[in-house]
Structure 1
Amino acid sequence: MSDAISCGSRLMQLLSAYGVDTVFGMPGVHTLEAYRGLEAAGIRHVGVRHEQGAGFMADGYARMSGRPGVCLLISGPGVTNAATPIGQAYSDSVPMLVITSVAANKDLGMGRGRLHEITDQARVTEPLTAFSAVAGDPQQVREHVARAFALFEARRARPVHISIPLDVFKAPDDQPVRRRTAHRRAAPDPEAVEAAAALLAGAARPVIIAGGGSLGASAALVALAERTGAAVVPTIAGKGVIPDSHPLALEATLDRAATQALIAAADVVLCVGTELAEPDIWLDGPLPLGGPLIRIDIDPAVLARDYDAAVALEADAGLALAALVEALPERPRPGPDRAAAVAGVRAAERAALTPLERKHIRVLEALRRAVPPEGVVYSDMTQLAYTGYAFYPCETPRRWFFPAGYGTLGYALPAAIGGQIAAPGRPVMVVVGDGGFQFTLQELGTAVEQKLPIPIILWNNDSLAQIRDGMVARKIPTIGVDQHNPDFLKLAEAYGCRTAGPRSFAELEAAVTSAFAADGPTVIELREGAPFLG
């Protein structure tokens, strides 16, 4: 080709202008023009072992940093391999930009049997994204990228997929790049604020349910709780938005009986940044609410779905909560009666733990002692994490991440890699089960290559235990749930990882502390039946 800058190279400059410093991907013959421009644009490339890993890494990067995670993948199998993490990001409202190649414009939809061909690739990811578009020329690349970042900045964050035809990747692009003006988040309607404030001012037993949409509004949420005396229940995605040590904070126990009873007895319920989705409440129908509902959400569809809201505010959570605090009369901090009610619910939830959950709690307490206050946990779909998302203490937001909505196995390891790359100075730990680990364990190679000091807590019960237990409870034969596992520690050593098999809680804590100081990942295997776990 000529000395002109290609669209693929210019795209990397464009991403840099929007603040992108890292992309996760696997080079392919169809994306070479993008790789031509990576170094010149100052963007770091993290090579993966599977496109699913790239998607989860971008997700983990975004959850840690609050900025969009970016994938660069080939068409066809690259897209279908990444569909699962795209679906996870969609379900959990994570900003992710997926850029892929696609057949040349002249071949789109023709079914000619081109390499990696899908006759309509955009439709593959359309149900999993805010939008999926094909950029027909370099100018459309700019337009779609601008549209994506406008969505990330001002609306409900969800993944975006931009397919770039092979001829467009190679096309000359002599236009300078610039970032479009950032978009403002929606401010609340003043009349709706006044109506919501009036309900809260008259409430004696208010409850706030705080979802992932409130993570950036922690200070305003705590101020509102203290001004109204509201008990605060975080969802799984909202974990840490109020410190667990706060006298008005419940743990992430929205799916447990005592917490649901408290909500049913409330005289006003404020839901902020949450769908009240099934994985949060685990009920066949809606969550019973004891009083009128106030809803704050940036997504108007959420405001109208499933529940009748007395007041609905379509707005950014931080702006809406700050406006409510301003509109409410000042009160002294909540008295001991309200704090005692919250403490009673927390005690009731702890008293109802199963024997297995009590075992989990002992492990989680040891991990909490070993993880510094600023440490972050990426957890997988495993029973230890099901207890952990409720009862692992967090004092600030973005300290425990869990694939709640889509519920995919294999999330934790690659997501933690993305999180560690986003925040290299922060301790990052993985909690994963033996089943989920085998979905993406090949990304141990990426963690070793990148020299990431990640302790990987492998909870091993040689089965898909949650499903097995469900089969037993329903008197269904336990088919397909008792697995033949490899020797995980030998496998990890083959990748170049450090390993540990602790035989006491002291050894577990020491292994985690040592792992944070290492120059690569450490796999720490805990067998569910180990004597020291009780």
Structure 2
Amino acid sequence: MNCAQRLIQLLEAYGVDTALGIPGVHTIELYRALGQSGLVHVTPRHEQGAGFMADGYARASGKPAACFIVTGPGMTNIATAMGQALADSVPMLVISSVNPRQTLGHGQGRLHEMPHQSEMLAGVSLFSHTLHDPAALPEVLARAFAIFESARPGPVHIEIPLDVMVAPASEDPHTPARVFPPAPAPEALALASDWLSSSKRPLILLGGGTAAASEAARALVERLDAPTFTTINAKGVLGRDHPLDLGATMSLPAARRLAADADVVLALGTELGETDYDLVFDDGFRLDGRLIRVDIDPEQLGRNQAADLAILAESGQAMRGLIGHLPKAAARDGAERVAAVRRAMALDKDSELAPYVPLFATLRNTLPEALIVGDSTGPVYAGNFLASMPAPRRWFNAATGFGTLGYGLPAALGAALARPELPVIALVGDGGLQFVLGELGTARDLGRPVAVIIWNNDGYDEIRRYMSLSEIPHLGVDLAAPNFSAIALAYSCRHMSVTEPASLADALGQLDKASSPLIIEIDAAAWAASL
């Protein structure tokens, strides 16, 4: 057994079932081993697509996929996707080749050579490790999976020199250790429960760290009868239309008034960062009450908002522990307070959101169980306010964190791999889709009924709006979209053009009638005119 074969054996032991990558001369040995395994391999059209697919796979399933990436340009290509995963705490295992050990750092002009590949990737990963000895491989993978399972997750990069990849490796069986995340200190739970029990106006903030504990989240929210904000990555944790859920509306004035008025705030598994709480970028989200923060990352406990009580723990354990400490539910008129904020926000009557209200109503009525993956585009920004999902891991997008374009389509394909029982929708703009048009070929290869909804406004409309608000001429943002119908034909995908909600519903009804992707193009101007 060589090191490449040992790697595949260990990945299977850790439960990895999917590998994403484009074969290259430096990764051939990985593919020799992969062909002898039970892992499913998917070939994207670009290494960035591999990273975004792994991101979508992990967000939809809660577990990492592996990316097999070639030295040099493959790694620079995937770096953007790793940056997005790092910003949103998404587990991703990136395995790459690198030139032989004796050549590293010598600048000899070898194929795919980089001066310091590992150092470059260290900036977009939790750690980047060069494997110098096959015997160290189990330890390095154990370190990666310990982070995935018991700490704030993110991308991990392991590079294997070409000579190490073919070196002999141990054939001894490896049983991964059972790893448990940190539990909250009992005295911290007792103090937090005292503060929450005596609170008159409690508020709960649920972040993506609570996605795996939706049952405990609902029980805690209801026990406290507390208005609750669920961030973009926590959407669906309380289920659809929960009477205490205000969604990801923390950037809106009425929601901010509620937050500032709270006397005790419990924040669980959330960065309290700009792209969740300050989408209008004015630093206007304020917490004046006592702040209890629960996070699996000790450094995060001190960022963005100063805590009065900081609890290092996995959010699910903390929520279950608090429920055990709290007395029986006390009525605090939480649902009435939420209803009042909803009336004040009046999202369904907001002029800026008006084109998108019927869009999300149609998606919900036609495909209520769909998993929706978004790019950075107008409908997605609106959906962060408007969409209500039946369960966690059904709504995620690139409007948070790193904020990259080109995310939606490949991430949706990763989600479709992870959750084949669910309809999957990629919600993209005409500008962002052009970053990754080649991944329509991957969509065709997968044969999954994924709907790609293109909001076509001939350019980068969100930037156009910012330019207008800043009295800047529209330079570089008015771009004629390609003929998406012809592109769909070239990739053997179905294409439908729609201009109003009824025709969108009809188009979505065709999603499960064939195994090829369905491209639904919405003319944004015609859609607005139809309303």
TM-score range, shorter chain: over 0.9
CA distance in 2, matches of 1:348, 1:394: 22
Q: Which residue of 2 aligns with 1:357?
A: 353
Deviates most, 250-259 or 500-509: 500-509
Deviates most, 351-360 or 468-477: 351-360
Q: String of CA shifts for 1:268-313, please: whole Å, max 9, x gaps.
A: 1111111111111224447311310000000001111232212111
Distance 1:286 1:504, change over 3 A: closer
Q: Give the C-alpha shift of residue 216 in structure 1.
A: 1.1
Whether 2:235 is the aligned partner of 1:217: answer: no
CA distance in 2, matches of 1:384, 1:280: 16
1:392 is matched with which residue: 387, 392, 397?
387
Q: String of CA shifts for 1:320-343, please: whole Å, max 9, x gaps.
A: 0111110011125x46x3211101
Whether 2:493 is the aligned partner of 1:502: answer: no
Alpha carbons 2:453, 2:519 under 8 Å: kept: yes
Residue type of the alignment partner of 2:30: A
CA distance in 2, matches of 1:325, 1:205: 18
Whether 2:481 is the aligned partner of 1:485: answer: yes
Q: Give the C-alpha shift of residue 39 in structure 1.
A: 2.7
Residue type of the alignment partner of 2:420: P
Whether 2:432 is the aligned partner of 1:436: answer: yes
Deviates most, 521-530 or 241-250: 241-250
Q: Which residue of 1 aligns with 2:143?
A: 147
CA distance in 2, matches of 1:304, 1:389: 26
CA distance in 1, matches of 2:343, 2:355: 17
Q: Which residue of 2 aligns with 1:26?
A: 22
Residue type of the alignment partner of 2:20: F
CA distance in 2, matches of 1:400, 1:371: 13
Unaligned runs of 5+ in 1: none
1:291 is matched with which residue: 289, 296, 299?
289
Residue type of the alignment partner of 2:473: P
CA distance in 2, matches of 1:496, 1:63: 28
Q: Which residue of 1 aligns with 2:367?
A: 371
SS at match of 1:145: helix
Alpha carbons 1:141, 1:164 under 8 Å: kept: no
CA distance in 1, matches of 2:121, 2:47: 14
Alpha carbons 1:10, 1:177 under 8 Å: kept: no
CA distance in 1, matches of 2:344, 2:428: 28
Q: Which residue of 2 aligns with 1:302?
A: 300
Q: Which residue of 1 aligns with 2:100?
A: 104
Q: Give the C-alpha shift of residue 188 in structure 1.
A: 0.2
Q: Give the C-alpha shift of residue 186 in structure 1.
A: 0.4
Q: Which residue of 1 aligns with 2:326?
A: 328
CA distance in 1, matches of 2:304, 2:360: 35
Residue type of the alignment partner of 1:379: G
Alignment of 1:437-456 (within 5 A): 437-456=433-452
Deviates most, 292-301 or 136-145: 136-145
SS at match of 1:472: helix
Q: Give the C-alpha shift of residue 60 in structure 1.
A: 0.6
SS at match of 2:519: strand
Alignment of 1:25-174 (within 5 A): 25-174=21-170
CA distance in 1, matches of 2:443, 2:248: 30
Q: Which residue of 2 aligns with 1:315?
A: 313
Q: Give the C-alpha shift of residue 356 in structure 1.
A: 3.6
Q: Which residue of 2 aligns with 1:193?
A: 189
Q: Give the C-alpha shift of residue 40 in structure 1.
A: 1.8
**Moved >2 Å (runs of 4+):** 174-177, 283-287, 350-356, 531-534
Residue type of the alignment partner of 1:302: Q
SS at match of 1:426: coil
Q: Give the C-alpha shift of residue 352 in structure 1.
A: 8.1
Q: Give the C-alpha shift of residue 372 in structure 1.
A: 3.3
Residue type of the alignment partner of 1:203: S
Distance 1:37 1:126, change over 3 A: same
Distance 1:8 1:82, change over 3 A: same
Alpha carbons 2:273, 2:304 under 8 Å: kept: no
Alpha carbons 1:363, 1:533 under 8 Å: kept: no
Alignment of 1:504-519 (within 5 A): 504-519=500-515
TM-score by length of 1: 0.96
Alpha carbons 1:244, 1:250 under 8 Å: kept: no
Q: String of CA shifts for 1:81-124, please: whole Å, max 9, x gaps.
A: 00000000000000000000001000111111110011111111
Taking only the aligned residue pairs, the percentage that are identical comes to 45
Distance 1:493 1:356, change over 3 A: farther
Alpha carbons 1:240, 1:395 under 8 Å: kept: yes
CA distance in 1, matches of 2:361, 2:264: 34
Q: Which residue of 1 aligns with 2:236?
A: 240
CA distance in 2, matches of 1:209, 1:53: 32
Alpha carbons 1:251, 1:346 under 8 Å: kept: no
